[in-house]
Structure 1
Amino acid sequence: MRRAKLRQAQPALPALYRRRHEVRYGIARKQAALERDCDRLRLEIRHDNLASLCLFQHRGYRIFDQYADYYEDGMAAHRLEKPLTRKR
């Protein structure tokens, strides 16, 4: 019984590590952009990648445009941006 509980908990560890890495990377990316006097971050996401789209929208990005035929396989891309604000 105890062994089954440990097996169920193991898949959560890599996800927790990924989240910590993503947060650190996001903070570093934002800081680098602010140091260069940027006022927004932009990125592109495949039109069919709903998981990434939801993740970035949850983190404050919004869709502002689309590239047709952006990827090698002909898939379109959403263009997202997030305004940057300096803490005072």
Structure 2
Amino acid sequence: MAMFATDTGLMRQKSAAVLATAERVRAEVDSMRASLSELQGTWSGSASANFQNIVAQWRATQAQVEESLSQISVALTRASEQYDQVEQANMSLFAQ
């Protein structure tokens, strides 16, 4: 038989913290992208092409990180909601 306990309020709090962190990361990444775009506009040649490929790889990785953070936040929120709903349903089973 499964046994568990959780603090759904803490889960929601951590979900919000993940979103806030994702926003801070996104802002820093946007700033870095702008800076790198300036550099790319002034640089040509083979090394520049290689650099642009690496930047493209980094952007793809960053998009995955942002998506993962979003999924973590959504999962924490949904889990806390479901735990709360189940607890309410179980309480009603024993209501007089």
TM-score of the alignment, normalized to the shorter chain, above 0.5: no
**Could you tell me the TM-score, scaled by structure 1's length?**
0.37
Structure with the larger strand share: 1
Please state which structure has a larger fraction of its residues in helix.
2
* Bigger RCO of structures 1 and 2 (CA < 8 A, at least 6 apart): 2
Q: Bigger radius of gyration, 1 or 2?
A: 2
